[in-house]
Amino acid sequence: MRCSALLLAAVACAPEPVELAPPREREALTDPAAWTLVDAADDPFPDRPEGVTCGSGAWSVEVDGTSSALEIDTTFCDYVVLRQPSLAEVLPGDLVRARITHDALTAEAPAEAHLAVVVGDVTVLDTTVPIPDEAGEDLAEVVVDEGCPEGATIWLHLHNHGDNSWALRTLDAGPPETP
């Protein structure tokens, strides 16, 4: 009888099974169609030239099969700053990844393009690209020390000389991949 009581007590006090959350997936931080133009008063980048003209036709959504990207044509805009709120939270320790491509870069004289992506207070990409240059890709990956909430401002900056085409293919965040 004592064995039965002990067995009954052990079963009654057994901990509830814990359901583990599924592993987090990488999440897109931007919507290619949600970018808005930033005017001079709100521009956080220091290289803005005088007299910038950049119409809304300078950027568009490029659809390629099942994916879409933000495309910027510098024929119509040689300096642009766009922004949008982040679609997802970025947690401390997340890997933020930006992938930007460009067609062959041309200009009347040798120059440089300045390209930057900032998520909240984290600079993901800040680089110069020589012009002329062959078609290429810039891939930046940053593990963030501090996160930022969903809705944090994402900034995209391009200062380019010449008639060129650039595309933000992906900007996402999530746990770093394990080797």
| Inside any domain, residue 117 | yes
| Inside any domain, residue 2 | no
Helices (H), 34-103: none
| Inside any domain, residue 142 | yes
Predicted pLDDT at 19: 76
Distance CA 123, CA 108 (A): 31
| Inside any domain, residue 169 | yes
Distance CA 70, CA 102 (A): 12
Its domain, for residue 127, covers: 26-48+55-174
Predicted pLDDT at 179: 46
Predicted pLDDT at 6: 52
Name residues of the chain where pLDDT drops below 50.
Answer: 179
| Inside any domain, residue 5 | no
- pTM of this prediction? 0.84
Predicted pLDDT at 21: 67
| Inside any domain, residue 68 | yes
| Inside any domain, residue 8 | no
Number of domains in the chain: 1
| Inside any domain, residue 20 | no
| CATH number, domain with residue 61 | 2.60.120.260
